Structure 1
Amino acid sequence: MKPSDSIRSKRTQRDYTLGFKLAVVSQVEKGELTYKQAQEHYGI
């Protein structure tokens, strides 16, 4: 394994599908997740 393989880069908006983003937004709107929880859990 190369050293660069173990480094986790920060994800960007482009790394997520539209459907995934809409699902997370829906959960936040319903109160199932807070914005901060979504950031921590999904690395957004």
Structure 2
Amino acid sequence: MGTSSNTKRKRTQRDYTMGFKLQIVMAVEKGDMTYKQAQKIYGIQGRSTVLTWLRKHGKMDWSTKVRLPMSKSPKAKETSAQTIKRL
């Protein structure tokens, strides 16, 4: 098996410089790509590596958890007879 210039080299954690991390974080926060696209494009192996960078170096506030309540639809309270009448 010879080396080819077209083969992707697997990266290790020590390969990522601070500038590289910040570049990825900026691109993801601007909306140029998703964190999964960044992983694929740049050959980042760890599933949560880019997410960790976003939490550490990004401008978004990750300290508070946002819980969105589920909307209560009026259809959930209808009985079958009411549904038939409405239709």
* Same-fold call, TM cutoff 0.5: yes
In structure 2, stretches of 5+ residues that fail to align are 45-87
Q: CA deviation at 1:37?
A: 0.5
Q: As a proportion of its length, which structure holds more helix?
A: 1
Moved runs in structure 1, 4+ residues, more than 2 A? 5-10
Counterpart position of 2:28: 28
Between the aligned residues of both structures, percent identity stands at 65
Structure ID, larger Rg: 2
TM-score (norm 1): 0.70
Q: 2:8, 2:26 → 1: CA distance? A: 27
2:28 partner letter: V
Number of residue equivalences: 41
Q: 1:8, 1:26 → 2: CA distance? A: 24
CA RMSD between the two structures: 1.9
TM-score (norm 2): 0.40
In structure 1, stretches of 5+ residues that fail to align are none
1:14 partner letter: R
Q: CA deviation at 1:9?
A: 5.4
